[in-house]
Copies of this chain bind each other. A is one copy, B any other.
Amino acid sequence: MPSLIHHPLDPSSRLIRLMCAEYGVPLDMEEIKPWLRDAQLLEINPAATLPILIGEGDQPIVGILAAIHTVEDLYTPSVVAGLIPPDPGPRAEMWRLIEWVIVKLNDEVTRYVLEEKIVKRDQKGATPDPAVLRVAKANLNEHMLYFNWLFATRAWLGGDALTLADFALAAHLSTLDYLGDIDWGKAGETRDWYSRIKSRPAFRTLLNDRVVSMPPQKGYADLDF
């Protein structure tokens, strides 16, 4: 069984967990805090990023792009519909939106929230900076308007079919939701979509996540949130 070095609130780790759960690939989970820059982590990955996928006897698979391609190449069951569309047009749209989420949304929202609310808990005397969290919140509002606009005419993020782009967005929003940073009352079409994706069996693994001394917001694990 492959193992995944991850952090429960790291959205890139969550994306691979969702992908593997959807494909029925069991994972041994090993939790670390990458921001502590443990020597053993740096030896495997000097960038100190997650996830890291360890196959059997293989070199470690480092990073979100390498992990996506490895899971897709080695672990996709041929009997179920995959998460990467076979046609070039929908596939390009999926990659556009994956990039939107893992680069732009991460850069403008998720990484600030994680830094202020999670990483700083391990820095003596540090407290979340309200000014940074306000900027992240304002940025998230803009992103949500765009996602609402897309979901007004699409069943799934990339179009008519569920793709890996949905899991990428769900990974980020579920991290933000755990930390109470999503105002679902204003989330419109994105809320309906999140409700559907949250009900998938693949999502269960994430809903049981708990970070020590930081419980999730009240509705985090509710399918009727």
**Which A residues contact B (CB, under 8 angstroms)?**
45-47, 49, 58-59, 61-66, 68-70, 73-74, 88-89, 91-93, 95-96, 98-100, 103-104, 107, 146
A63–B99 touching, CB < 8 Å: yes
- Sample of 24 A–B contacts (CB below 8 Å): A45-B96, A46-B146, A47-B100, A47-B104, A49-B99, A49-B104, A58-B89, A59-B89, A59-B92, A61-B92, A61-B96, A62-B96, A65-B95, A65-B96, A65-B98, A65-B99, A66-B91, A66-B92, A69-B91, A70-B92, A73-B88, A74-B88, A103-B103, A107-B107
Complex: A163 Cα to B74 Cα, angstroms: 20
Whole-angstrom distance between the Cβ of A158 and the nearest chain B Cβ: 11
**Which one of A66, A68, A100, A107 has the greatest number of beta carbons of chain B within 10 Å?**
A66
Complex: A171 Cα to B172 Cα, angstroms: 29
Q: Which 8 A-B pairs have the closest CB atoms?
A: A66-B95, A65-B95, A66-B92, A63-B99, A62-B96, A66-B96, A65-B99, A61-B92
Known contacts A49-B104, A58-B89, A66-B95; can you find 6 more A-B pairs with CB under 8 A? A61-B96, A62-B92, A65-B99, A66-B96, A70-B88, A73-B91
Q: Which residues of B contact A58 (CB under 8 A)?
A: 89
Complex: A49 Cα to B92 Cα, angstroms: 15
A95–B146 touching, CB < 8 Å: no
Q: Which residues of B contact A64 (CB under 8 A)?
A: 99
Q: Which residues of B contact A66 (CB under 8 A)?
A: 91-93, 95-96, 99
Q: Which residue of B lies closest to A103 (CB)?
A: B103
Complex: A8 Cα to B61 Cα, angstroms: 33
Q: Which residue of B lies closest to A88 (CB)?
A: B73
